[in-house]
Amino acid sequence: MSTTLTDRTVSTWNDRVTIRVRVGGDGPPLVYLHPSGGLAWDPFLDRLAEHYTIYAPEFPGTTPGDPYAIHQIDDLWDTVLIYEQTLRGLGLSAVPVVGQSFGGMLGAELAAAYPDLVSRLVLLDPIGLWRDDAPVANWIAAPPTELPGLLFADPTGDAAQAMFAMPEDPDALASAQAAMVWNLGATGKLCWPIPDRGLGKRLHRITAPTLVVWGEQDALISPAYAEEFRNRIADSRVEIIPKSGHIPQVEQTETTYTAVSAFLG
């Protein structure tokens, strides 16, 4: 069943950035931080929304109608402060945080900077670290035809086809493609050309119990990074999702949901 969503807005950054937060579900609060392509409410979030009220802030610049908000942000630290302001503006503290890829990096940064904000942390194939022997693929510069292979273990499967399905109407198609390019550019401001802004030096500050989830066949970021996160976060463990690429919650929704919900308790 699709979740009914409402919107809340939080004025941050000395009233220069307004964050739209999509809210849905029923139960205690949970924060979801979206990947670099922007927020897409998927069946995994629908499942979580059966037990939690999900708060999903949109990264500045990715909210429809407010693309130039990204110009107010200069670096990663600006973003961490804006997200901290957003959560406190919503009255949220000591809440579980789930972040996917780019959102996983933000979740880890937030938990490292403000341990009191995060009760439990779930990182779904997060970016943020770099190993020369296992370079992260450059998803921003990749041709559109290569993205399904970077993101999915089975790029011809139903999950990949659904994610990359585009509107048939020419105007809607142009708008969707423009939004995707803009969103990747906005989030890329924090991770171009290499998504390493020193997170590895800060992960030891995370005190929240942490679950690191990784797709076994992730072609964008090697599963070798799962152990890198586990080794740096004291109270953490790793869950590898078989038959999955970079987006396990979409490609193997039930397996990922089972692992995440068991961890969240």
Tell me whether strands 118-124 and 95-100 are parallel, antiparallel or unpaired. Answer: parallel
At residue 211 the predicted structure's pLDDT band, cuts being 50, 70 and 90, is very high
Question: Which CATH number do you get for residue 246?
Answer: 3.40.50.1820
Tell me how many domains the chain contains.
1
Phi-psi region of 128 (alpha: psi -120 to 50; beta: other; left: phi over 0): left
Residues 6 or more apart in contact with residue 174 via CB below 8 angstroms: none
- Element holding 236 (H helix, E strand): strand 236-241
Question: What confidence tier does 194 reach under pLDDT thresholds 50, 70, 90?
Answer: confident
* Distance of alpha carbon 132 from alpha carbon 114, whole angstroms: 30
Global pTM value: 0.97
CB 121 within 8 A of CB 211: yes
The pair of structure tokens assigned to 100 is 């996917």
> What's the N-to-C CA distance of the chain in angstroms?
22
* Low-confidence winner among 4-13, 130-139, 185-194 (lowest mean pLDDT): 185-194
pLDDT, one tens digit per residue, over 48-104 is 999 999 999 999 999 999 999 999 999 999 999 999 999 999 999 999 999 999 999
Query: DSSP states of 123-144 as a string?
Result: EES------TTSPPP-TTTS-G
- Using CA atoms, how far apart are residues 104 and 216, in angstroms rounded to an integer? 17
- Distance from C-alpha of 46 to C-alpha of 241, rounded to nearest angstrom: 19
Residue 111: give the domain boundaries: 5-264
Contacts of 3 (CB under 8 A, 6+ apart): 24, 25, 41, 45, 46, 49, 54
